[in-house]
A and B are shown apart, each in its own frame.
Chain A
Amino acid sequence: MQIYLPIAEVAVNAFLLIGVGGVVGLMSGLFGVGGGFLITPLLFFIGIPPPIAVATGANQVVASSVSGVFAHLKRRTVDFRMGGVLLVGGIAGSAIGVWFFTLLQRLGQVDLVVQLFYVVFLGLIGLMMLQESLRALTAHRRPAVRKRLHQHMWVHRLPWKIKFRTSGLYISVIPPLLVGLAVGVLAAIMGVGGGFIMVPAMIYLLGMPTKVVVGTSLFQITFVTAFTTLMHAVSYNTVDLMLAVLLIVGGVIGAQIGTGLGARLRAEQLRILLALLVLGVCFKLALDLFLRPDDLYSIAAGSV
């Protein structure tokens, strides 16, 4: 069934859009990532103009993460205090990122920088997670000596310590603020919620328990993407509500299934799956950079 999108001004198959939303929603519920890094390239592929894909993708991420957050609230796996601190950093970082993005646009190399960012970050994180979770899996098999609850690193010697009860942490606010800031910057430049960077940062940098990480990151993503959607709608008129509704229908269902599935899988398995997914997307983007494109020419609306 073809449907005409009023803002994007193209006609696309409605079921295809619901399917795309569903896949991304599933990722969202399963891993606690917003799915922005998947939905935006998928929408490009369908033929939605890039600015509309980015803005509407953000709106869809709001829906799927809200859905995920409510599921996690039920299971009391959201650390509000940590989420709040991350959010403060995130909004500040997002503002810096938007400024940097405008600068890049003036230089005319946004596409390239965004793609390079994706390849580098996805590659690093994917490899790190894969290595870590493989080690955890093998350690699980042979009963090793039980480690301490978490290691004490330089992170734990900084001032302004706060108790994060839900996460069982007593650490300085500086690291989570910085994590939020960094994620905000990257999110604005890469046009995503930033969950795929925040989740590993929370696990490996802050030492948060995996159980709380997903809900807390979804909580932060909800607010950051809501902010982004509003910015896009007001300054560029690029949010397509018709497209968003179709993606959301698929997305919320996918997110619920994903959350249910995530509760049944073991944390290490979950991490390996996410690592493989991240590496897959990274590999695809790297290929696009290095292989000769099908058509060397491209058309963009407007003049530079």
Chain B
Amino acid sequence: MRLAGPLCAGVLLWFAAVAIAQEPVADPPAAARQRDQTEAPPAARSDIYPTYPDPGRPRVIVPENADAPPERVVAGLSSDAVSITASFDGSNILIYGAVAREAPVPDGPPLEVIVTIEGPSQALTVRRKTRQVGIWINTESLEVGAAPSFYVVSTSGPLDQILQPDWDTRYRISVPLAMRSFAGELTVEDTVPFTEALVRLREGNGLYRTDEAGVNVVDQTLFNADIRLPANLIEGDYKTRIFLLREGRIIDVFRAPIEVRKVGIERWLYRLAFDRPLLYGLMSLAVAIAAGWGASSAFRLLRRR
């Protein structure tokens, strides 16, 4: 009886070790997923408004300025990859850039800059409770086909003053526009309270954020923004967009990807859980049994003293 615990745990661990040794953990699903995402928007779509950021094409010419953009944005990121380690506690991305122009600074209202960072999109369901026979029950729901898992808008001034609504819709800049489509049949009459609730809940846990005056513009030529990525990030390809604006209109756009990846033990556990679920389950049990048995014998020893 005394040997049962270590024996069970040992056998499970042995199975785990043999299986790991035989087949290295590969991750074709992840690679396939990445490819899908980057290939999604084909290059020949310049007639359609570029609503979806594409890391493969850093610059998008705004149709109105197609022949010669009077002012162009040149920018860089302090890092284009974020590693999620076991002690990951959020990360700061510093975005800096300059405006390239061949003519002198135009007169009129000053140049404005908007920076957005968007996480991978997910499908989700927003549910509303109502009171039925005295009990609060989920009765209505709205399925959102794609909502970014993370979205931050950082601007050089109040968003409603520096950006015209039609340009906002075109590039889907402000937070409520970041969500894309409703999936399935609409079962509710009014979708607005549901999307508002989604934004409110996500703002509450720091996943959506609007930071007016987060971008610092110097002499209408240089700008920088320090954007905080929270600790509850998910893995995936993040997209940065930098917009240059004059009189509420977008005159140039710059895009850059940020790769957020789990590394080390985080990556190993994650891949194991999805690629070898049975093995992972047995390993979890082995850890639990070993810990339970270990604590039991340790305390017995303590008590004997």
> Which residues in chain B, 276-305, are within 8 Å of chain A measured between CB atoms?
277-278, 280-285, 287-289, 291-297, 299-300, 303
B288 touches A59 (CB 8 A): yes
Which 4 pairs between the two chains have the least Cβ-Cβ distance?
Answer: A66-B292, A233-B281, A252-B295, A11-B231
B89 touches A2 (CB 8 A): yes
Q: CB within 8 A of A237: which of B267, B274, B289, B303?
A: B274
Tell me if B38 counts as interface (CB < 8 A to partner A): no
**Docked pose: A302 CA to B184 CA in angstroms:** 12
Tell me if B126 counts as interface (CB < 8 A to partner A): yes
> Which residues in chain A, 181-236, are within 8 Å of chain B measured between CB atoms?
226, 229-230, 232-235
A242 touches B269 (CB 8 A): yes
> Which residues in chain B, 258-285, are within 8 Å of chain A measured between CB atoms?
262, 265-267, 269-270, 273-274, 277-278, 280-285
Q: Collect the chain A residues with CB atoms within 8 Å of residue B280's CB.
A: 233, 237, 239, 241
**Docked pose: A6 CA to B194 CA in angstroms:** 30
Q: CB within 8 A of A245: which of B90, B138, B194, B287?
A: B287
**Nearest Cβ on chain A to B12's Cβ, whole angstroms:** 10
B292 touches A67 (CB 8 A): yes
Stretch at the interface among A144-152, A169-177, A288-296: A288-296
B296 touches A256 (CB 8 A): yes
Q: What does the 1/0 interface line of B229-268 toward A look like (CB < 8 Å)?
A: 0011111000000000000000000000000001001110
Tell me if B210 counts as interface (CB < 8 A to partner A): no
Tell me if B137 counts as interface (CB < 8 A to partner A): yes
**Docked pose: A15 CA to B281 CA in angstroms:** 25
Stretch at the interface among B102-110, B117-125, B167-175, B212-220: B117-125
Q: Collect the chain A residues with CB atoms within 8 Å of residue B282's CB.
A: 230
**Docked pose: A281 CA to B218 CA in angstroms:** 58
Max chain A C-beta neighbours (<10 A), residue from B197, B205, B281, B289:
B281
A6 touches B269 (CB 8 A): yes
Q: CB within 8 A of B138: which of A47, A69, A290, A298?
A: A298
Give the nearest-CB partner of B198 in chain A.
A299
A6 touches B266 (CB 8 A): yes
**Docked pose: A288 CA to B277 CA in angstroms:** 35
Give the number of chain A interface residues (Cβ < 8 Å): 64
**Nearest Cβ on chain A to B6's Cβ, whole angstroms:** 11
Q: A63-B288, A230-B285, A299-B124 are in contact. Are A237 and B277 (CB under 8 A)?
A: yes
Give the nearest-CB partner of B8 in chain A.
A66
B135 touches A290 (CB 8 A): yes
> Which residues in chain B, 143-202, are within 8 Å of chain A measured between CB atoms?
143, 145, 183-184, 193-194, 197-198, 200-202
**Docked pose: A232 CA to B284 CA in angstroms:** 11
B143 touches A304 (CB 8 A): yes
A62 touches B292 (CB 8 A): yes
Give the nearest-CB partner of A239 in chain B.
B284
Tell me if B228 counts as interface (CB < 8 A to partner A): no
**Docked pose: A89 CA to B13 CA in angstroms:** 29
Q: A7-B269, A70-B292, A295-B197 are in contact. Are A304 and B281 (CB under 8 A)?
A: no
Q: Collect the chain B residues with CB atoms within 8 Å of residue A10's CB.
A: 231-232
A289 touches B136 (CB 8 A): yes
